[in-house]
A and B are shown apart, each in its own frame.
Chain A
């Protein structure tokens, strides 16, 4: 069959709060779920100013490394109370906050295991197509050292932009859209 051209993307614009902010958006799991953690961070622009109108979405494996999805060749795995998907709006001083469970390790398809990670999309006024990054976890040093994606990055400075630090209630990773500490973004 002939290929169709894909629909071109456009900026989410400044008024996404009308349509895309859900009351349950940040809750990949309920906040009182056992082992629930908060992933938090601030989104910064190239001036170092906060971006107060971004949407941050997350997608990740469950704590056993499973996905409740038919295209997982290991079989769809439902994890009770776990949605896998989170959506936060940075209206709170440029900060996003996602309540979730730490993901398990997932095969990398090349004989190894990926380190625990969360896929992240960032949308905002001034960004015409979503930008994609990943969140890794600082207390997974051994797994991170083996991770095929982290290993593909040029240096530790690049890797550091993806590694969240432990906090009182979870982990924290700021997202720098530009600047000396520009986050590593991925073409998917």
Chain B
């Protein structure tokens, strides 16, 4: 990993940047929508200053305990396989990220989103919205109860299907740590043809896939999957006071 360094009179944390071999690029040739949307010019390096090492600490007042159970948001229960999705939010130094907002959204068991522009012929479920929120606990743990989302077709290429996934959004504690991503399920047979999954460098793909967690299944009730999420951590190497005025 490399970090971005400035000579600083303020003692600010510096957040490590994952190397390119383990980081999703902004654009990917097989993903058509990137063609007109992903910026073409190389980004300018922005050393971390006060605005970048701080960030919104959202949570209290925005989330209720009920928001973590996507199967209890309507009068009836949604169709599909009930699952628990849980894990920890850590930084790359292995430190838990406590009390941080985790937002998820997903398709229903048939792969349909409750959204006006999703109109493929799979029915909506009147008992499923597909939105969840929670805060990690003091040890960085999160847990949702939901149903396993279905795969869905899309227009990217001939007979294109998205592997089943749950969208995640995380803040951490700094602007540099912001992450929006997708969690997949083990051994999905659709991985091979999905450009969004395959845009992730091969070495990092396992980090996007949850683990079936028999230990955490609830007898006669729910299956379980575990997925830890790792945000950028602070550089712990000693601060050098000489000759590091330039970007690393």
Residues of A within 8 A of B (CB): 1-20, 22, 45-47, 49, 51, 53, 57, 59-61, 67-69, 71-74, 83-85, 106-111, 114, 117, 119, 121, 123-132, 149, 152-153, 177-178, 182-188
Contact = CB atoms under 8 A, between A and B. Distances in A.
A117 B51 CA distance: 9
B22 A71 contact: no
A80 to B, nearest CB: 16
A19 B35 contact: no
Given A6-B18, A8-B207, A109-B9, A130 B180 contact: yes
A109 B10 contact: yes
B212 interface: no
A150 to B, nearest CB: 11
7 contacts: A3-B93, A4-B93, A6-B23, A10-B199, A13-B167, A19-B167, A128-B28
B146 interface: no
A128 B52 contact: no
Interface residues of B, number: 90
Q: Which 8 A-B pairs have the closest CB atoms?
A: A19-B105, A126-B33, A85-B56, A126-B37, A186-B46, A69-B54, A109-B8, A46-B36
Interface in B18-52: 18, 22-28, 31-41, 43-46, 48-52
Task: State the main secondary structure of chain B at its contact with A.
Answer: loop
A120 B56 CA distance: 13
A4 B50 contact: no
B45 A187 contact: yes
Contacts of B113: 15, 18
A127 B26 contact: yes
Interface stretch (B75-83, B169-177, B185-193): B169-177
A153 B44 CA distance: 8
Contact of A185 (B23, B44, B179): B44
A106 B51 contact: yes
B36 A152 contact: no
Given A4-B93, A18-B115, A187-B45, 11 more contacts: A3-B92, A6-B231, A9-B24, A10-B24, A59-B55, A71-B54, A73-B11, A126-B37, A129-B25, A185-B39, A186-B43
Interface of B: 1, 4, 6-13, 15-18, 22-28, 31-41, 43-46, 48-58, 62, 90-94, 103-105, 113-115, 117-118, 129-132, 167, 169, 173-176, 178-182, 196, 199-201, 204-205, 207-208, 228-233
B34 A126 contact: yes
Given A107-B10, A178-B36, A8 B23 contact: yes
Nearest to A87: B56
A69 B176 CA distance: 14
A68 B28 CA distance: 37
Contacts of B229: 7
A59 B56 CA distance: 7
B37 A121 contact: no
B38 A7 contact: no
A58 to B, nearest CB: 10
A69 B58 CA distance: 11
B45 A1 contact: no
B22 A128 contact: no
B37 A7 contact: no
Contact of A128 (B7, B26, B56, B231): B26
A100 B173 CA distance: 21
Contact of B22 (A8, A106, A149, A178): A8
Nearest to A85: B56
Given A15-B105, A109-B50, A119-B52, A71 B174 contact: yes
